[in-house]
Structure 1
Amino acid sequence: MLRFRSLASGSSGNATLLEASDGLRRTRVLIDCGLGLRQLTARLAAEGLALADLDGVFITHEHGDHLGCARSLLRRHGVPVWTSAGTAQSLATPGTDAADAPQPRLVRDGQVFSIGGIEFHPFAVPHDAREPLQLRCTDGARSLGLLTDLGHVTAHALAALGGVHGLLLESNHDSELLARGNYPDFLKRRVGGSHGHLSNAQATAALTTLHHDRLSTVMAAHLSERNNRPELVRQQFAAVLGCHAADVLLAERHGACWLGV
């Protein structure tokens, strides 16, 4: 069984807990840890878990709302961390990177790797980071796609996520709200640019392409508190999914419940 739980979502922090169990073993992997160590520990404890219960962490890119306490998890708590070479540069601690210090395990676009009972297929996305990656994750029976923090949806990303059974999809901002909002112009250009974040319209277009009969779980993620409204996302996703707007799942700032894939 493959399931996931958003522990945090949005510009204040992002973390998604992924779990697979086949009856013989259980694997738990954290996708991003954009929280302080105390916050992360508390949110895991609410699930009856400790840092020692994590089999690994994958960091999608180096922005603070995703990197968070990754350095502490790797160096002080011995939790293995996987990430790209570009992102790994932000895990270095000047003057303390001795040869025997724990180092992140490096992966790149298209390099399949496994953590316990979960297989990961990383793919590159256009975002203003050094080497950002997103993921397709599978336990061999079911698959989950994660697609956040990108300025536009590429054919490469759509191909990587074709046929997934579950999808965590960024729907960051409404373009009109962003344009009318109080962000400075440079930040509006950054958020709405080709290497920024997906608008509701872009997310809906991606969902339309990826939607199929076996796509059973969809959650909208990374909603902007200033430049979006939950009801806008729900309305647009519901039109694609053929459900009531109230039934569309959102990853809230403080997380969401467990969802099976």
Structure 2
Amino acid sequence: MLDLFSTGVRLRFASLGSGSRGNATLVEWAQGSLLIDCGFTVKETELRMARLGKTARDLTAILVTHEHSDHIKGVPALARRYDIPVYMTPGTYHSRDLGELPKLNLIHAYTPFQLEGLQVNPVAVPHDAREPAQFVFEYEGLRLGILTDLGSITPHVEAAYQACDAILLEANHDPFMLASGPYPPSLKQRVGGQWGHLSNQQAAGFLQRIDTRRLQHLVVAHISQKNNSLDVARAALEPVTQAVQQVTYACQDQGFDWLAVVQVERIAASA
């Protein structure tokens, strides 16, 4: 594993792909690395990890946000092949037949836990899954938030993602494109509903309401290929992201490359 401390980096993250055809996010810190979701086959996952200089044998654990196929499809096979511990809520585990998971760890009542020095804070979100969770990670004073697959921003969610140093945030659809697009009415209602996915405008409103003064990286993720576009999402978010050091737009095929979250000296203002 790369010696992150030798380069001054404490925490970094990358994506194998982000969208309705498969999702997986890598998080790495000095003592370990984890994969959040795996919506790809084992072969495809291995190829995408190799592009980022990693292998499945490097993984400390796999975290699962919920049971939809674009997030969980490859988890059981990958975990079994490489004997990787898997963490998910009981609702996610019991929602479908995942077969034997030799190192299954159930996250009860969204209780925080530690993985090799990394604090993992599960966050309950409104999504049309049985017991979905998103995550905020803390390591040596740094905070990384992963927030996709939710239909609305609750006060609980807003409180959980304050003062992050990096956030991966869903901006799934443009309401006009969704309404006029090819989806059947029932699917449009699901995607645009309170338990579906965030629109560009909802993502922008969330960013306006949280403390972003520490935000080094904003990654805009889970962008719909049919109900959104890069230009439309950027136009909605640019007015509220002017102060963010780096804004990255994740894509389905390439995800995004490693982004480093670093310690920034914070000097209190003189009285």
Q: TM-score, normalised by structure 1?
A: 0.91
Match of 1:129 in 2: 129
Contact 1:13/1:66 (8 A) holds in 2: yes
Distance 1:130 1:124, change over 3 A: same
Contact 2:83/2:103 (8 A) holds in 1: no
Distance in 1, Cα, partners of 2:237 & 2:172 = 13
Match of 2:204 in 1: 204
Distance in 2, Cα, partners of 1:221 & 1:213 = 21
Contact 2:162/2:212 (8 A) holds in 1: no
CA shift, 1:74, in A, is: 2.5
More moved, 120-129 vs 102-111: 102-111
Q: Does 1:55 align with 2:54?
A: no
**Could you say what the CA RMSD is over the residues aligned between the two structures, in angstroms?**
1.6
- Corresponding residue SS for 1:158: helix
Match of 1:153 in 2: 153
One-letter identity of the residue aligned with 2:79: L
- Corresponding residue SS for 1:76: helix
Runs of 4+ in 1 over 4 A off after TM superposition: none
Contact 1:109/1:123 (8 A) holds in 2: no
Q: Does 1:182 align with 2:182?
A: yes
Match of 1:32 in 2: 37
1:205-220 alignment runs, 5 A limit: 205-220=205-220
One-letter identity of the residue aligned with 2:29: A
Aligned residue pairs, count: 250
Match of 1:8 in 2: 17
CA shift, 1:91, in A, is: 6.0
Q: Does 1:76 align with 2:81?
A: yes
Q: Does 1:45 align with 2:50?
A: yes
One-letter identity of the residue aligned with 2:210: L
Distance in 2, Cα, partners of 1:211 & 1:159 = 10
CA shift, 1:89, in A, is: 1.9
Contact 1:74/1:104 (8 A) holds in 2: no
- Corresponding residue SS for 1:258: strand
Give ranges in structure 1 of 5+ residues lacking alignment.
Answer: none
Give percent identity, aligned residues only. 42
Deviations 1:62-85 (A, max 9, x none): 000000211112333211100000
Deviations 1:72-124 (A, max 9, x none): 12333211100000111256456xx5xxx614201134411111131100011
CA shift, 1:212, in A, is: 2.4
Deviations 1:140-182 (A, max 9, x none): 2211011100010110011111111111000000000000011
Contact 1:88/1:104 (8 A) holds in 2: no
Distance 1:47 1:189, change over 3 A: same
Match of 2:248 in 1: 249
Contact 2:110/2:121 (8 A) holds in 1: yes
Match of 1:65 in 2: 70
Contact 2:95/2:130 (8 A) holds in 1: no
* Counterpart pick for 2:27 among 18, 22, 32: 18
Distance in 2, Cα, partners of 1:125 & 1:59 = 14
CA shift, 1:46, in A, is: 1.9
Give ranges in structure 2 of 5+ residues lacking alignment.
Answer: 1-9, 262-271
Q: Does 1:233 align with 2:233?
A: yes
Contact 1:61/1:132 (8 A) holds in 2: yes
Distance in 2, Cα, partners of 1:87 & 1:78 = 20
1:106-145 alignment runs, 5 A limit: 106-145=106-145
